[in-house]
Each structure stands twice: as C-alpha cells, then as structure tokens.
Chain A
C-alpha cells in the first residue's frame, strides 16, 4: 500500500532557529498537505499544495510540492514556542474517495 516516510522523527531546537522536515513516497500524489497536531487535539491544516514544483508560504511556514510528485518539504523560519507540536505530511489520492495518507509525524521541541 501507499506509505509516506517522514523525517526526522523528532527535532530539538533553540527558539529562533529554522526548521526543515520532509516527506517521501514511492507513490505519486495529486495533492500534498501539511498538518500540525497539538496534544489532545485533531490535526490542523497548515498548507496545501496542488501542483508539482509549487512553493507556498503561510507566514513563517514554507512548503514545496516535489517535481516528481513523490515528495514534499516544510520549513519553519525563526521558530517560536507555539511551534511545538507534531507535524504530519499527508498525500491525497482520489480513488473514488478523497483519501489522505499520512506520514509518521515529526515531533518538534523548542528550548527557550
């Protein structure tokens, strides 16, 4: 089945540092999405990417849809304490259903 490999699994950084995480797959996806999940809550959509090569920003977040359609990355610039949480990439397929395939998550911890 389809799987996403997300790395790194965890990151420990200082406040103010930049962060980079990525996701790769053996399958092609039509849409890539990045979500953030805080403890006890559901994932919150950060960025959605629809075209190969697309680079999209949302404030301090920047994400790109790989040109092979099999990978994506997310960068966070100048990290702040509220960036702490688990970040998930997700690839979307349209096989009748609008199905999301998620990576294993990257846990971000920030030292003030």
Chain B
C-alpha cells in the first residue's frame, strides 16, 4: 500500500509568483487536507477536500486555493506569493469524514519565497 506522496520536495520562488503543489492520497482515501507548517510551529489547517469538493477552510486568504481530482489526488495553489508563505506544506489523506478515519501525512513540500 502506497502512502501519501507529495511533489516537489523543495521549491524556491520569488515574491509575487504563483506556485502549485501536488499530493497523491493513500490508496482508497477520498479526503485530502492541506496544512502549512512554519518553522518551529505546529501545522495550521488550510482547507480540506472531500470527493472533489472543498469541505472546509482555515484562516487563510483566497489566494490559497485547491483542487481535488477524480482519483482523489489534490493540488494546492498559492498566488501572489509573500515572504511569510515560506513554510513546509503538508498534505494528509483519510478514508472519509467519519470519526476514527484518521489523517495520514505526506513528507511535505518545503517552499522558500525570496
């Protein structure tokens, strides 16, 4: 069974640019969540996708957007990058929304904004 995978591993962008990060969920998982983890902090919830629909959103501006595809893989897009967007972006998948379906994390994408 393949776990959650993310690409790319590392990325360097400049302020104002746009970036797309990708996530492949664990086999059989239809729910994908994205988190932002700043250095030295715990992850912060960005949003969640369930069966290709956004299912909830954290306190992040609209320039953070996403997609989920029919195979349940997902993308996180960030427009107009700011220096504070530099962080580890984590994707997590789960079997569904019911309690007991825990989230399993990928290795993350390290984004640096210069």
* Residue positions of A touching B, CB distance < 8 A: 1, 4, 6, 30-31, 33, 35, 40-45, 48, 50, 88, 90, 92, 94-105
* Residue positions of B touching A, CB distance < 8 A: 4, 31, 33, 35, 40-45, 47-48, 50, 55-59, 90, 92, 94, 97, 99-108
Additional A-B contacts beyond A6-B42, A40-B107, A41-B107 (6; CB < 8 A): A45-B102, A97-B48, A97-B56, A99-B58, A100-B33, A104-B42
Q: Which of B43, B45, B57, B101 has the most CB of A within 10 A?
A: B43
Give the number of A-B contacts (CB < 8 Å). 77
Query: Given the complex, which residues of A lie within 8 Å of B48, measured CB to CB?
Result: 97-99
Distance of A89 from chain B, by nearest CB (Å): 9
Majority DSSP secondary structure for residues of A touching B: strand
Residue of A nearest to B96 (CB): A98
Q: Are B107 and A33 in contact (CB-based, < 8 A)?
A: no
* 13 A–B contacts, CB within 8 A, in A order: A6-B42, A35-B105, A43-B43, A44-B105, A45-B104, A48-B102, A96-B56, A97-B57, A98-B48, A98-B56, A98-B94, A102-B44, A104-B42
